[in-house]
Structure 1
Amino acid sequence: MHKSASRAPSIGRDDLIGAWSLVEWQILDPCDDRVHYPFGNDAIGLLCYTPDGMMNASIARSTREALPAGSPRNANQAAQAEAFSTYFNYAGRFEMRGTSVLHHVQLALNPAMVGTVQLREAVLEDQILQLKGVESIGTERQRTHILTWRKQAQ
């Protein structure tokens, strides 16, 4: 997604409503000056925003091992850990503030995210939505997550 020298186009709440497919999830880490792809460069995902102000984000590695037959709760700890480490999800309310979207997390795969507010700078160009967020690691390090989504046809 390119940026012009002028302001980014404005984005409103209604622009987000609908379903979005993940194009790419990058993490930029200034410590090693590389681009990281947490679930590979072919990760899959679905982001949904509803008219009543709810959202849900799910992302997974495109090639995940199936859990053994039967209940996933009966899978061994290694299989459960692998399933956890190749999937990401949270859901809750959302709101717009200027060009930022705030996700108020009510439910998440990672319980530590519940009750947090995930701030994402949003840029919309045609049917491509880019959400950018900063992750603090300790007190002296930050990484930037850039998630690019494509609007699904209705």
Structure 2
Amino acid sequence: MIKKMIGTWRLVGFRFMDSDGNPGREEDAPTGGRMEYTLDGHMATATRQANGDYFSYFGEFELKGTQVFHHIELSAHSKLEGTTTVRDVSFEGDNLILTASPPVMGGPGSKASLIWEKI
């Protein structure tokens, strides 16, 4: 799976479900972004939120089974620096789907999936 992940990705979709399984509001969805995974284990990502704010971080990554671990070195949100985020990895066709449960910006029981297209 790691060879399929290596490269640069463009954000093409977003899905959010609250703890009751209800979809999130469209106005909360990120409106653009890029992510890059390198063969030597580095990663970087930046997304623009619907309100115009940017969210970004970079560091190293590890793939274990169907989960990717992002070891965050530097982030737009300093509270994330030195932490590790975990994303479930799947593919729909050629699109990379990264799912966080709970997401950075969501409550307990919620989950968010970012859908990425390789460029």
Q: Give the structure with the larger strand fraction.
A: 2
Structure 1 partner of 2:41: 53
TM-score by length of 2: 0.85
TM-score by length of 1: 0.67
- Count matched residues: 117
Structure 2 partner of 1:17: 6
Structure 2 partner of 1:35: 24
Identity level (%): 28
Shift, 1:13, TM fit = 1.4
Shift, 1:32, TM fit = 7.7
Residues 61-120 of structure 1 deviation map (CA, whole Å, 9 limit, x = unaligned)? 3684xxxxxxxxxxxxxxxxxxxxx11111110011001111111110001111111111
In the superposition, relative to structure 1, how do residues 15 and 62 fare at CA in structure 2: closer, same or farther (>3 Å)?
A: same
> SS at 1:30's partner residue?
coil
Which has the higher Rg, Structure 1 or Structure 2? 1
Q: Contact conserved, 2:27 with 2:50, CA < 8 A, in 1?
A: no
Structure 2 unaligned residues grouped into runs of 5+ = none
Distance 1:101 1:114 in 2: 17
Structure 1 unaligned residues grouped into runs of 5+ = 1-11, 65-85
Distance 2:103 2:117 in 1: 27
